[in-house]
Structure formats: structure tokens, C-alpha cells
Amino acid sequence: MSEFKEKFLREAIRLSIDNINDGHGGPFGAVIVKNGEIISKAVNKVISKKDPTAHAEIEAIRIASKKLNNFHLTGCEIYTTCEPCPMCLGAIYWAQIEKIYYANTRADAKKIQFDDEYIYEEFSKHYHERKIPISQHLRNEAIKAFEAWEKKTDKINY
């Protein structure tokens, strides 16, 4: 990684350390960059927002999307203090961010009680073997919304 890119990761690290001192959430920070310019900065706010989805990466994606007025963040890179969890990795893919740079590994996170391994394990299991029961109902009614969407001529695909 170039020194130019390292400065963005160092900014995410600085944010994460500040977040520990501020008490908003866990020791995580993220920075989204487009064309060499920081578009958004965020920290984990799970505790302060009482929101399990308020991870630094998700918060940074929300800020960047609003700033760029777009749900696609093509041309962007994300710099994050830890290997993204399954939720954040999914959001990064949905946002179409083009490159991920991270510092700590998920094994490092596990050592301080941020263990996502069980989620990765759950994803590999059949639905009926997972800890959280899942079952399908009312498809014949719900499919009508999908059919309406499919026929909609002015929809914006995403």
C-alpha cells in the first residue's frame, strides 16, 4: 500500500481510538475515499445509537451515499480498522465499493470478544440447521409485489 493510501487507513485508526475514549461504541473506524478525497468518516456507534447495525463501515456508507446522492458508491474505496464482519461486507458489496483496505483481522477482533465466526458458520449451514429458525409463508401473496415491480416501467434498478 502506498503512503498516500496509508494516510486514509491511519485516519480510520485515529477515529477508532478516539471512539474508545468517547464511548460511542467499539474500537472501529472507517473512511470512504473517492478520487483521492475522503467522502465520509465514521466510527462504530452501536452503544450510543443502541443499534446493532451501527458499525463503522455501515455508518460510513450511509454518510457517503447521502453526500454523493447515490446508493452506488462505484469508484470508492473503504479503509477500515478491521476485516469487515459479514453484515458490513454485504453492505460494501451492495454499495458497489471497489476496494477494501483493512488493518486488524477477524481473528484479532475475536481475541477482544468481537467474534463473528459463528455467523460465517451459520451461513454455511442449511436453513433448518441454523440457530435462528427460518420458514417461508404466504409466498403466493407476497409474489404479487415482485410481479408488480417486474412490470413497473419507471423503476430504478439497484
Per residue in 76-117, pLDDT tens?
999 999 999 999 999 999 999 999 999 999 999 999 999 999
Per residue in 37-82, pLDDT tens?
999 999 999 999 999 999 999 999 999 999 999 999 999 999 999 9
* Confidence check: pLDDT of 23 > 90: no
Give the pLDDT band (50/70/90) at residue 157: confident
The per-residue DSSP string of 48-114 comes to: HHT-TT--HHHHHHHHHHHHHT-S--TTEEEEEEEPPPHHHHHHHHHHT--EEEEEE-HHHHHHTT-
Catalytic residue among 6, 37, 57, 141: 57
How far is the C-alpha of 81 from the C-alpha of 31, rounded, in Å?
Answer: 9
57 is catalytic: yes
